[in-house]
Amino acid sequence: MRRMPGQRIPTIDPFAPHLSPTLARGIRELLVGPRVQEINFDFGSVLVHAPHFTAVSRLIVGGLYEKGIHVVIHPVMLLQEDAVAMYFPEYDAMYFENTQVLDDEAGRATALHECVHAVCDYRRRVTAIRSEEGAAIVAEAWYLLSSDEEVIFEYYSDSIWEIADRLRNRWLKTRVPVDLRGSEINAARAEAARLGIVNGTYAHNGIAGA
């Protein structure tokens, strides 16, 4: 673009919220990849199945005026919320700190965690907050356990890794969605409580365009 003499060159504020079509495309690809597609479990009434991830992947959009889930880079908001990523069902939007979130296993697991919340929104269910968070935590651990890399992730308690490992092994034998036992649900909900997740419910109203 040609500029007149003295015309100020516009700059992009790296801390201002903006959409990331590239990250949106990467998350779509993540959700239909084999490692996410093997994650199939029932956390009580919170269902996390491969077809749900596929459906959500089709609803992730790159354009501002498209109906669906928008992927937003907003580091300031996340700093204020003391979070590395968030999903807001009222806005059908995922928020991340930067566009490099999919560059490592921990970041990909974080994106998957937020997509579990999107799955619950897609299903239009009222869910217990600690159950939904517990399901997202278990899915995240399951994903990391399937890595070919040596992943060091000390954020969650040993009980979460044990639950995810048992679930994954049960799924590998049957290839159908596996149920968490009552004791496993209670342990995952306790982990959510330990991490400061409040008690209460999420009332999901669905995703525009679904």
Determine the Cα–Cα distance for residues 95 and 160; give it in Å rounded to an integer.
25
Helical ranges in the chain per DSSP H: 21-31, 34-37, 50-59, 75-81, 105-122, 129-145, 158-174, 182-194
Kindly tell me if the per-residue pLDDT of 11 is higher than 70: no
- With vertex at residue 161, the alpha carbon angle to CA 152 and CA 127, rounded to the nearest 5 degrees, is 120
**Which three-class secondary structure state does DSSP give residue 201?**
strand
What helix, strand, coil percent values describe the chain, rounded to 5? 50, 15, 40
For residues 39-55, average pLDDT: 98
Kindly tell me if the per-residue pLDDT of 30 is higher than 90: yes
Tell me what pLDDT residue 4 has.
39
Answer whether 69's CB lies under 8 Å from 93's CB: yes
Determine the Cα–Cα distance for residues 168 and 76; give it in Å rounded to an integer.
36
Answer with the residue of higher pLDDT: 154 or 132: 132
- With vertex at residue 172, the alpha carbon angle to CA 56 and CA 103, rounded to the nearest 5 degrees, is 50
Tell me what pLDDT residue 16 has.
63
Q: What is the mean pLDDT of the chain?
A: 91
CB atoms within 10 A of CB 63: 11
Answer with the residue of higher pLDDT: 33 or 18: 33
Residues 135-158 have pLDDT tens digits of 999 999 999 999 988 776 778 999
Tell me what pLDDT residue 1 has.
39
**Which three-class secondary structure state does DSSP give residue 18?**
strand
Answer with the residue of higher pLDDT: 122 or 11: 122
Domain boundaries, the chain: 18-203
**Which three-class secondary structure state does DSSP give residue 174?**
helix
| Sequence-ordered list of residues with C-beta below 8 angstroms from that of 115, at least 6 positions apart, any chain | 27, 30, 31, 53, 56, 87, 94
Determine the Cα–Cα distance for residues 33 and 45; give it in Å rounded to an integer.
25
Residues 56-109 have pLDDT tens digits of 999 999 998 999 999 999 999 999 999 999 999 999 999 999 999 999 999 999
Query: Percent of the chain having pLDDT more than 90?
Result: 85
